[in-house]
Structures are given as C-alpha cells and as structure tokens.
A and B are shown apart, each in its own frame.
Chain A
Amino acid sequence: MSQLPARLQGMVDELCAAEDLEEKYEILIELGRQVADIPAGRKTEACLVQGCQSVVHVYSEFEDGRLRLHGHADALIVNGLLALLVVGLDGLTPKEFLEVDPRFIEKTGVIKALTPSRVNGFYNIYERLKADALAALA
C-alpha cells in the first residue's frame, strides 16, 4: 500500500496504537466531534450517502486544483469514520486522492468490530468522494 497523506497517516497511527477497541472508538468519537457540521442547505438528497445505517451527507468543492471535502453523519462513530476521509484527505489533488487505497481502514482494527452496514457506509462515503475526484480530472 502506498504512503498515506500525512494527516490521514497520523489518524491511522493513533487508531493502530490504541490499546483496545474501546479506546479506538473513543478516538473515532473525538475525531467525529471535530468535524464541522455542514450547512443545512447541503443536507440534500443529492449529498446523501446511500447504504449507511445513519444519515450521512458528503460533498466536495474543487478549488485551485484541490478537493475540499465536507460531510456529516448523525452518529458519532460514523462521523469519526467520515472524518478519516473528509479531514484526512482534504486538500489533496484529485490525482493524490485517487492514489489512496481506502483499505487503510482494515489496518486500524475497527473494521472487524463494526456492523457490516457501518463498514459499507465507510466505503460508500469513499466511493462518493472518489466519483467527485474522477469528475474533477475529466
């Protein structure tokens, strides 16, 4: 797996270093709390991520050749998973974004404990942002 962007690598390292699952969840909850909520006007059907158990919205803006990522989930642990992507990958060029393998999540040790719908939710958020990165390149 190629090197992760520094900010994401820091978050992943922190999750990997956690002693147990309870501490991993605490880190995700804390990451989730740090995600700025998105404007109500952005919580539209178009920004809704399908296939999550909770309500999740994400969207991106393409500025000066870089992707600015935004999103929010109504459950804190999901918001923490979302933070790995919208905070960890924010400000990358589309090309840099596409070089990131989302399976980094499997190294953190949270995946095996999460319900399948939450795992799918994480990948659905990624796929949604990936589509934006591909569109920006086109």
Chain B
Amino acid sequence: MPYDVETIRSDFPILARQVHGRPLVYLDNGATSQKPRAVIDALVRFYETSNANIHRGAHGLGSEATAAYEQARGTVERFIGGNNGNELVFTRNTTESVNLLAQSWGRANLKAGDEIVLSVSEHHANLVPWYMIARETGAKLVFLPLDADGRISLEAARADISPRCRVLAFAWVSNVLGGVNPVRELAALGKAQGALVFVDAAQAAPHFALDLRDLGVDAAAFSAHKMLGPTGVGVLWAKEALLAAMPPWQGGGSMISRVTQDLVTWNRLPWKFEAGTPNIADVVAFGAAVRYLKAIGWDALRAHEDALTAHGLRALAGVEGLKLYGPREARDRVAVFSFSLEGVDAGDAGALLDAQGIEVRVGHHCAQPLMDSLGVPGLIRASAYLYNTAAEIDALAAGLKKVVAKLRPASAAAAKP
C-alpha cells in the first residue's frame, strides 16, 4: 500500500486543530508524539468494557482485563524482536526503566573502582540514575566524546572502554542531535570487556525496527508515548538470565509469590518487577499503537521519514544564520533537527514560531552535558514523525526566516554578504 500521509494525518484528531489561530504544525515529536484515533478508542474502550484489576480475583472481567494487558505485552515484545514472555517489564517511562536497572543491577554488582561508561550526549534519564548509583557504590562515570558528526566516537570508545567498564549505557539515537549511534559496534566493545550493555532506545523505537535480541545488547528501554501510545507506559527489555539474576527493585503487591511474617518470595518474571497495580488501560492502548505502526510497516515509514529528513536538511540550509548540529547526511540521522540562529535567543525564536502555530522545543533538551560540550546555552529542536509533511517542513523554514528578520540584530545581518 502506498504511503499516503494525508490518510495517516486524518487518523490523528489533534492535527486538525489550530493554535493561536493558525493551523497546528506539530514538530515536537521528540518530546511526545500525537495519538491516532485507534489508540484513543482502545483506551476508552478498555474503561467502558473491560476495566478490572488484573492478576487477581476470580471474576470474568478480571480475566478479560488480565488477558488484554498480557496480550499487549506480547504484541510489544514481538514488535521489538522478542518472543520470550519473560523479558519485557512495563514501567512508567524510559526514566523509570533506567532507574530500575541502575538500582537493581547496579546496587548488586557495582563497587568502587568500577566504571560506568556513558556518552556526553546522554539524556538526563540515562545519566542521573547512573550518577546516583555511582555515588552510592563508589563507581566512576566515564563519558565518551562525540565525533565531528555528533555521533559517539568509536575511536574514543575503543580507547575508553577498559576492563574496568562494568556498564556501557548509551542512547541509540540522540534526542538532541538525531544521530544514529553505531549500536552494534559499541555493544561489541562493551561485551568484549564483560560489561552490561544497555541502550536507551527512547528516540529509536518510534522510528525503526529494534530487533533487540539480534543487537548484542543486554537491556534496552523506551517509552510508549513517543511512539503513538499513551503517556505513563515505559518498557524495560532485558535478557531473561539478566532479569532473573536481578533482585526486585520496588516491593509490594503483585511482585510476590508468597508473603509470611518472616519471609517473602518473589513472583516469577516479568511480574517480579511490576509491583502494585500497573497502568493497565494505557498498556492495552499501547498495544493498539504498536498494531497501528505495524499496519503502516517500517519500510513505508522509513521511506517517508528519510524523505522528510533530506527535505529538512535542504530547507534549513536556506535559513540565514542557522547552524545545524548533528550528522550532515540524512542516512546517519532521524528527522530531528537541532540548531541555533546567530544572534537570536532560542526562547524568543520558540515563542515566535509558536505564534505562527509551529510547535518546537527550545532549551537544553535534558542534555546539559551535551550543551556544555557544544558550548551553547540551548538549542531549538524541530522533530518530525510519520504524520509530518514536506509542506510543514517548508512552513518551519519560512517561519524561521521570519524569526530571523524580526529578531536578528541589524549588525549580524549586515555582517553577512
């Protein structure tokens, strides 16, 4: 079936609305994606027809809700290349998944002198949890630098990933630069030293097939809300042997097998890590989001987004004073564009774009070490997804030209021929 972006757009009710009296041009997908009708309907349908608590009770409604929840787990697991049943844990978001891994595995395994190797481009979600466990255990954080294209430098990784490396944790795709990191090569370097290899797939999962079992990593995390699903659902995927060896993190209902006054034994995987009533309805709706993505198909989605990326690179090159960060070539990145405008405050630019109905993000993008290494206080980020069009990218470029005309000091404009 040919990719018809207008048909896809019609599945997303919010895209028809206006902001500040202008048609919405939503280019903040790196923060969260919009939701198709199928996901909204699945959420409402669950509450209208199947709502009950799961994994307990002896009534039909509870069994139905449990089946819907566990079916969604299977749908998501198969979508990312797994089919084991014990390897996918639902959390609140990517951040909680990283905290789970760092707190559970890290506390049991890390000691003074060990190294946790990250990159300077990590989102705070894949930095602060490791910082916290490093402080607790005496382990040390090591930051891999980026190459000239803004991707993790393999050369530096070969030098810096030493036998002391016990954890290698990095983002597959930078939330700021949009660059796709060489995940297989990095994973192999980490595994060669016997490290735990974790990949933050929050910005990868919405855009291409993960095939996690085939990747050479031990664990990965991502969030439903960046890939058409609801907020409040994250995934921690990890190999069964790893999860089995990890102690539980949060205690409570559902995660136990037996509780006496003297002894508690743990439930089996994956429920050992899902304490308390989970986010049942949102997980079920996440299943609908995955089915929606599957129906479109990765090949069609990739072709559309790659065309948007190439179009974006050309369109943004025509904006005076715009400095784009991240890979130069479309094949090395996703359709995420972070840039500065010479002589223009990023917050001012964001406000003026917003007044034109163009929604982007400005600021440090939860990646302050990256901002420090680039020597900028913040950047403007436009991030596209499967429903964005070339016309919207053109609207962004035109909007930016207006911003430059209004905000750039006369001296900076005159300095350029």
A-contact 0/1 string along B1-45, CB 8 Å cutoff: 000000000000000000011000000000000000000000000
Q: In the complex the two chains form, is B347's CB within 8 Å of A25's CB?
A: no
A contact residues around B355 at 8 Å (CB): 20-22, 24-25, 113
Report the separation of the CA atoms of residues A120 and B352 in the bound assembly, to the nearest whole angstrom.
19
Q: How far is the CB of A27 from chain B (nearest CB, A)?
A: 11
**B378, closest chain A residue (CB):** A53
Report the separation of the CA atoms of residues A115 and B348 in the bound assembly, to the nearest whole angstrom.
11
Interface range for A: 10 to 19
The contact sample of 17 A-B pairs, CB cut-off 8 A, is A20-B20, A20-B355, A21-B355, A22-B20, A22-B352, A22-B355, A25-B352, A29-B406, A75-B348, A77-B345, A77-B351, A78-B348, A113-B354, A113-B355, A115-B347, A115-B350, A115-B351
Point out which of A22, A25, A53, A77 has the most chain B C-beta atoms below 10 A from its C-beta. Answer: A22
Q: In the complex the two chains form, is B348's CB within 8 Å of A77's CB?
A: yes
A contact residues around B356 at 8 Å (CB): 22
A contact residues around B407 at 8 Å (CB): 29, 76
Q: Is A132 an interface residue (CB 8 A)?
A: no
Q: How far is the CB of B393 from chain A (nearest CB, A)?
A: 20
B contact residues around A78 at 8 Å (CB): 347-348
> How many residues belonging to B are interface residues under a CB distance threshold of 8 Å?
14
Q: How far is the CB of A99 from chain B (nearest CB, A)?
A: 30
Q: In the complex the two chains form, is A54's CB within 8 Å of B347's CB?
A: yes
Q: Is A118 an interface residue (CB 8 A)?
A: yes
Q: In the complex the two chains form, is B354's CB within 8 Å of A76's CB?
A: no
Residues of A near any B CB (own CB < 8 A): 20-22, 24-26, 29, 53-54, 74-78, 113-115, 118
Q: How far is the CB of A41 from chain B (nearest CB, A)?
A: 22
Q: In the complex the two chains form, is A54's CB within 8 Å of B345's CB?
A: yes
Evaluate whether A53 and B347 lie within 8 angstroms (CB atoms) in the complex, with A20-B20, A76-B407, A113-B20 already known.
Answer: yes
B contact residues around A75 at 8 Å (CB): 345, 347-348
Report the separation of the CA atoms of residues A74 and B407 in the bound assembly, to the nearest whole angstrom.
12
**B345, closest chain A residue (CB):** A75
Report the separation of the CA atoms of residues A77 and B345 in the bound assembly, to the nearest whole angstrom.
9
Q: How far is the CB of A109 from chain B (nearest CB, A)?
A: 10
Q: How far is the CB of A122 from chain B (nearest CB, A)?
A: 13
**B354, closest chain A residue (CB):** A113
**B346, closest chain A residue (CB):** A75
Report the separation of the CA atoms of residues A114 and B350 in the bound assembly, to the nearest whole angstrom.
10
Q: How far is the CB of A35 from chain B (nearest CB, A)?
A: 14
B contact residues around A26 at 8 Å (CB): 406
Report the separation of the CA atoms of residues A84 and B352 in the bound assembly, to the nearest whole angstrom.
19
Q: Which residues 199-232 of B sit at the A interface, judged by CB distance below 8 A?
A: none
A-contact 0/1 string along B37-77, CB 8 Å cutoff: 00000000000000000000000000000000000000000
B contact residues around A25 at 8 Å (CB): 351-352, 355
Shortest beta-carbon contacts, A-B, top 5: A75-B345, A22-B355, A21-B355, A21-B20, A77-B348
